[in-house]
Structure 1
Amino acid sequence: MTYRNSKKLVYLTGLALLGAGYLGSFSILDVNFILKQYLVLLPVQVGVLVYMVWIRRSRAASED
């Protein structure tokens, strides 16, 4: 296994543990069912938004 693959594996394992902890913490909260679903999906929405802004800025920088 190369250094790059092992670094990616550590990164993905960390993300998986973080996601499991996030979902586990929301499973024990006593809030409305609809609100709980929205709050679970909120990090995904923020992540997609950051990714789209990053793509747009990188394309604008490459056109200059």
Structure 2
Amino acid sequence: MTARLMQAMIRASSVIDFPEVERFIQRQHQGGLADPSDVAAAIVHNLARPSLTGGERHGVSV
């Protein structure tokens, strides 16, 4: 599945399936979503960190 298709599927979600769908749509219209490939690269980079600990919330900056 391509990242753009995934974003389109999220935008088509109901509030029941994805409570933050309106916020996601607004961010997309305002250009506030990072490119999915940049996010994926940042996640891979974080996963490779030796100091990564499970069970915590980790941010991704792109």
TM superposition score category, shorter chain reference: 0.3 to 0.5
- What TM-score does the superposition give when structure 2 sets the normalisation length? 0.32
Larger Rg: 1
Higher relative contact order (CA 8 A, sep 6+): 2
- What TM-score does the superposition give when structure 1 sets the normalisation length? 0.32
Comparing both structures, which one devotes a greater share of its residues to helix? 1
